Structure formats: structure tokens, C-alpha cells
Structure 1
Amino acid sequence: MTSGNSSLNVPTFPEASQLLGQDTWRAFKDRVELNVEVRGLKGYLDGSIPKPTSAMYIYTAQTSSLPDSQFPSPSEWTQRERMVASIIYLNCTDPIGIGIERANTSSKTWTYLLKKYESRDEQRIHIADTTLREHKFNPDTTSMEDHEKKMRNLLRSLHNLGGTCNDHQFRLIVIASMPDTWKDYILNVPGIFSSEAFTYLHRLYLDKVGRTNGGEDDYVKKQVAALFAKHLATQAASSSTPTPKRERPICTNPPCPTKVGHTIDRCWAKGGGAEGKAPKSWKDKYSMKASAIDSTSPIDVYVGATYSPKNTDGSLMPF
């Protein structure tokens, strides 16, 4: 005897539809019910197909029963029931943390989940509804695309908690979330659905952002042009004005062999302000000249030239 014609492939839900908690319960529930129904196994999920016993199942079927049969064989029932239990258990992110026991029947597990997540929490619903209605769009920090995603996620959270908000109400909430500076543009938003409202708001956002960016670009271009013109004017003025010639200082110390380039305060020669501080190279170069200058003062030269004996041609006679 065959064990039935139900598929043994357990579906894996997308991550966003796997049961993680209250936020994903609605998506998880819809997928479980659809996958069970398409396989004809809903009676195992709600417990309407009881497990057959020996007293109930008194004959051996020659062919396998249909998946939705109320009188499956014990082996068929076990296989189909485990299929439904696997769909639930394997699509829970943390079944142990949620409180699901692997050995429980699918109907018992499903009843537990319905009781856990279907009970309305009025306080949480109120918080989710308030969060949705108070969320505002800031075009300076958020794009319209991100705002739409945020609003739809908040709506989904409200629905997952059991709250109600139809599309007409959501459309009005979306329009009210626009900034006050857009008030004149959203007085008559076309359409009756939230998708149509978002289409209009997307166009409005792109139009306003485009204008803003265009104005900023023009302003930046004007600033750059002004700075560049100022730079060119400054450069032209500096090139046309002759640089004044710098006068080099002259040393007034008589014994100094190098008069140009310093003053007497910084002179290394005898009588200068920096006497004795000259480097060795300077001393080696100018020592002979300095000694000659030091041996005969200007007064001695003058006196000798005046009173020394002279030849007939006027030259000084040697001593």
C-alpha cells in the first residue's frame, strides 16, 4: 500500500515571512495556510482530521486516499500530519524560543500560535497607530522612496498587531506626513489610493529637489568664478608692479675688509660689535689684511705722509 500522494518537499519561506515574533506573524500565517491548503492538508492544521485508531481503521485500502480524506490510513495520517508540522516548525526562526515543541501535533502547535499572536494587545496597537500617524517626512535628510518604505513598514507593524487601517485612511496619513512648507502643494492630491498619492509625492519631491540642487549648483559656480577672477586680478597686479630694490647695509667700521652686507654692530673685524666671533674661514682669509690694517692707523699714515723726508719728485724717502 502506498502512503499517499502528498508532496514531501517542505517549503522554505523568505526570511521576511519566517516567524520571528509579532512583527512577522501575519506573513507567516498567510504562507502556512496557503501551503497547507494547496496540498489539501488543512484538516491536519485545524485538527478536523483525527488520528485513526485500530478500531476506526478496520480494513486495508487497496489504493491510497486523497490528501483531504477524512479516513486516511494510520501511516498516511502520520506522514501528512508531520508534513504540516514541518512546514510550521522549520519556518520558525527560533521555534524553541517561541515555545514550540517538535513532538506536538501540527494542530496543537497551530492552536498555541493563534492564541499567542492573535490576542489583541490594545496598548501595543495604540502605540503602533500613533507612531504611524506621527511620523513626518523631512526632505533634507530622507528621500521620498525611503519615506514610503518607512510608512509601509509602520502600517505593516500595525496590521501585525491586529490594528486596522484601510488604504483610504493610510493615504490621508501619508499626505499629512508631508512638511508644512509643502502645504500649498498637497491641498489637492490626485487619486484615491495610497499608491497614487505616493506617485504624486514622488514627482513633487523630485521637482523640488531638482530646483534646490540646480540653485545650489549655480551659486557654487558663481562663487568659484568670482574667486578665480579675484585670483587673476591679484596675480596681474603683482606682476605689473616692480619690486623695489633692496638696499644692502654698509659697515662703517674702518678696519672691516668687507664693508657691504652688514652693519658695524655685526662686524667681525676689530672694533666691530661682533669682534672675535668670525668663523675660521673668514679669519684665514682676512687675517693678513686685518694685521696690516691694525699695524698702521689712519693717523700714523697721515703724519708719516706729512713729515717724512721726500725726494725731489715728491715721493717719501725710506727710513
Structure 2
Amino acid sequence: MANVAQAPLMTAPITTAPLEEKVAQLDGRKRAGKSKDYALKYVAACISNMTASGVSNPLDIIKVRQQLRTQAPGSRANAFWSVGVEMARTEGIRSMLGGFSASMLREIVYSGLRLGSYEFFKDTFYDMSKGALNREGLALKVSAAAVAATIGSALANPADLVKVRMQAYYPAGSPYRNMRHAFASIWQEGARATKSNSSVVGGLQALYRGVDATTVRGIVLSVSQICSYDQIKQTLKKKEIMEEGIGLHFTASMFAGLFCSITSNPVDVVKVRLMNDKAREFSGVTDCIRSIIRREGLGAFYKGFSMCWARLGTHTIVTFLIFERVRLLLGIEAM
């Protein structure tokens, strides 16, 4: 029997990717996954805040009307029920929806960014500090909330200003047909009033009037609201008083709503007065504060507080309940 020559077996060369390449691929996937999560958190923040704003809009417009009134402190005519009843009687129930479209636009820009990017900045600052900042500490949370709020407040100022103008009281009827007309009217108002030769500069100055007060308010509100919610929730879970769920979200958001109402109301009064100052009565934030103290006293800074608390408390509870729920539906871990 003839020997059959066996051909050597041909095997494909085995190649292995360098360890550095595998690590780079894993890091790339991890970053892509994180970026997707951050985008989804922004979407969840927009949905939750728009819903909360829609629910609390009647309270918001009453609060604005109270803050624009200049009666002596303690005047019963400025009580929230008096303002609400007067609005319903003289302007109709639909007046409670004043500035609704501008409010929705504001929430997409302002609240979407301040709440939606909060955890992005927390992660970024933690990585930048190389662990020096405690992930559970207040310093990291305050820093993240302040930066997120600064960006959101500054970008959303035009929508915020239009909302305030559309919610103010006008004896002869509102001069604004809709949000688009309000934007155009305020732009033209600024173009006419500017000392510059550029109408664009004047228009932008008009839309960004009160941006310093808006930004300060945004920082104060966001730090007290988001950080207190985060901290209270974390503490209750750590001490095993409550577990993750609707009960915990409701409790933490209820306290957060009270804290941010107390801290933000004085700044909110100044912001609303500046934004509605068509006659340029105030030269800036300091002048506005001085004028309020001189004419109305320190108590004026808490005008509209009951409505502010009712509105912000409601807004905060609805926001975080829906925010956490939408995160769950999108497959993102709880805040």
C-alpha cells in the first residue's frame, strides 16, 4: 500500500489586538454610552419641567402680578386669592394661561439645561478633581448645579422676559398677540431705545434685560432645589429610612420646593421688576433693589411668596416625580 503524502495543515494566523487598542475601544463605547445617557437625561428634564410648568402656570401668573404691584406691604388687595379672583372676573379664566407658550420654550432651554446637564457637570468635575471632590459631598453638587444653572439661565433670558411681559397686567389689554409678536415687539422696543447705531445691539439688549438677576436667581434656585433634592434623597437612602421609589421622590422634592422658594423669592421679585421695566425706570439690579427698599420696605422682597411656594413647590414635586419616572422608562438609573 503506497504511502499517501500528507500535506501540511494550513492554519490561519491568529492575530491579537494590542491591549491599548482594546482599552481604547472599551473607553470609546463607554463614552458613547455616557453621551447617550446625558442626552436622554436632557430629554427627561425637558419633559418633566414642561409638564410641571403647564400644571403650575396659573400660580406663576398670579405670582408675577403680585410681584409687580407696588402697594404698601401687607395690603390685603395683594393677597393671592384677591389677585386670582380679580383676574378671573376682569380678564376671564383664560388669563390664567398667559405666557404659556413662552413658558414652554423657557423650560426647554432653562430647565432642560440646568437639570439635564447637572449630572454631566457632576461627573466632569469629579473626574477633573481626580477624586479630591467627594461624590457625595455638597461641594461637588453645588458646583455642578451652579454651572448648569448659569448656562441655562443666560441662554433662556429672552424667553423668560417674554413670559413675564405676557403675564403682566395691562389695563387696556395685552399689547402682545402671541409669543412671536412679543419677541418682535420687545426687539423693536430695544432698537428704538438704543444709543447705538445698531438696531441688532438694541434688540439683543432689550431681550437680555435683567439677565444678571435672572442668572443669579437661576443659580440660587438650582443650587437650593437640585442640591437639596439630591442630598435629602441620598441621606434618606443611606440611613435606610426610605428606599428608592415614589415615596422617596415625593418627600425629597417636597422639602426641595420649600428651600428653593425661600431662597429665590427676593431675587425673583427683582428679576420680574427689571424685566417689566419698559420705561427704563431702573438703571440696573442695584438701583432696582434700592428703589424697592425705599418705596416698599424689605417685606416687598417676599411679595408673592405664598404663590411662589405654591408654584415652586408644585413645580418641584411634579418635576422630580416625572423626571425619575421618565428616566426609568428610558432605562437610566435613578438620580
TM-score range, shorter chain: under 0.3
Higher RCO (C-alpha under 8 Å, 6+ residues apart): 2
Larger radius of gyration: 1
TM-score normalised by the chain length of structure 2:
0.19
The normalised TM-score by structure 1 is 0.19
